[in-house]
Amino acid sequence: MVLGAMNLSIEGRPSRAQAIATIQTALEAGVTMIDTADVYGLGAADAGHNERLIAEAGVAASAATKVGVRREGEAWVHDGSPAYLRRAIDASLRALGVETIELLILHAVDARVPIEDSVGAIVDARSQGKVRQIGVSNVTAAELARARAVAPIACVQNEASPFVAPEPGLLELCARERIAFLAYAPTGGWRAGRLAHEPWLQRLAARYGRTCFEVTLAALLACSPGLLVVSGASRPENARSSARAAGLALEPEDVEAFRARFWADGRASER
């Protein structure tokens, strides 16, 4: 289980004290990684807010951060140019207050820049001791293959939920090649409220004595041995709930039923 820290810094964010309490509660509950990004804040002037928050909580060593997206007004713009990435990496090091970022993830593929060039800039940073491991986010299997031709890739971070199925074969590829698959927006992002009203999930949750959200996270975790769930939280009780899901072992038939219901033929059902 990975704590997704984005909601602690964007619109509607909690107080600083509550945000730090949420981060610390997640670690105390057994979460070992915090997912952040340099772009998580209230616009360009607030860049690095989430990383600084994690540093203030004293857990920067547990952070995996992302670069390659910046804010222009309300827009989130992909920028994978090597020159920008070099500046972004240095800014993240300062915000986190560390000499080396344990896991640095290319946040998105820039259609104007070959992914090989973007990953190459991160490889250069690794050679300088600024980065230990490299990941990629929002990629296809073909883009992952191109990135792997440049450097070993430790993780893929893509969206996966009952509403968004991973690209067919990508989970299996990651498991086979021992690449961690970090599933973000695991309860569907803006669709998350629908899960509590899904009758099939309600019945399953009642049988296990858990919430619909905890059962959903547990089902995702069971879909692949290399899958990690990036679960967002803005309150300590939500962080504890997500951590509880990591300890929930669903029966194999329930996991298969989940996949069949929501990811039939590799496509998430529209609900």
pLDDT digits (tens, 9 = 90+) for 166-177: 998 999 999 999
Query: For residue 265, what pLDDT is reported?
Result: 54
Question: What is residue 264's predicted lDDT score, i.e. its pLDDT?
Answer: 79
pLDDT classification of 266: cutoffs 50, 70, 90: low
Q: Using a pLDDT cut of 70, give the percent of the chain over it.
A: 97
Per-domain residue ranges of the chain: 2-192+225-243
DSSP state of 128: T
Q: Which of 40, 84, 184, 208 is catalytic?
A: 40
- Residue range 60-72: average pLDDT? 96
Mean pLDDT of the chain, nearest integer: 95
Residue 184 is among the residues annotated as catalytic for this protein: no
Instruction: Kindly state the average pLDDT of the residues 186-202.
Output: 92
pTM: 0.94
Residue 240 is predicted with a pLDDT of 96
The pLDDT confidence band at residue 190, using thresholds 50, 70 and 90, is confident
Q: How confident is the model over 83-119, as pLDDT tens digits?
A: 999 999 999 999 999 999 999 999 999 999 999 999 9
Percent share of the chain, pLDDT over 90: 94
Dig out the tokens for 98 from the structure.
């560390």
Collapsed DSSP state (helix, strand, coil) of residue 11: coil
Q: What is the pLDDT of residue 251?
A: 97
The confidence score (pLDDT) of residue 271 equals 42
Task: Please list, in sequence order, all residues whose beta carbon lies within 8 angstroms of the beta carbon of residue 268, skipping any fewer than 6 positions away.
Answer: 161, 162, 163, 164, 165, 262
Task: Give the model's pLDDT for residue 122.
Answer: 98
CB-based contacts of 217, cutoff 8 Å, min separation 6: 1, 186, 187, 229, 231, 242, 245, 246, 248
**pLDDT surpassing 60 at residue 267:** no
* C-alpha radius of gyration, the chain, whole number: 18
Report whether pLDDT(258) > 50.
yes
Please state the CATH superfamily assignment of the domain spanning residues 2-192+225-243 in this structure: NADP-dependent oxidoreductase domain (3.20.20.100)
Closest CA to 227 of 177, 267, 174: 174
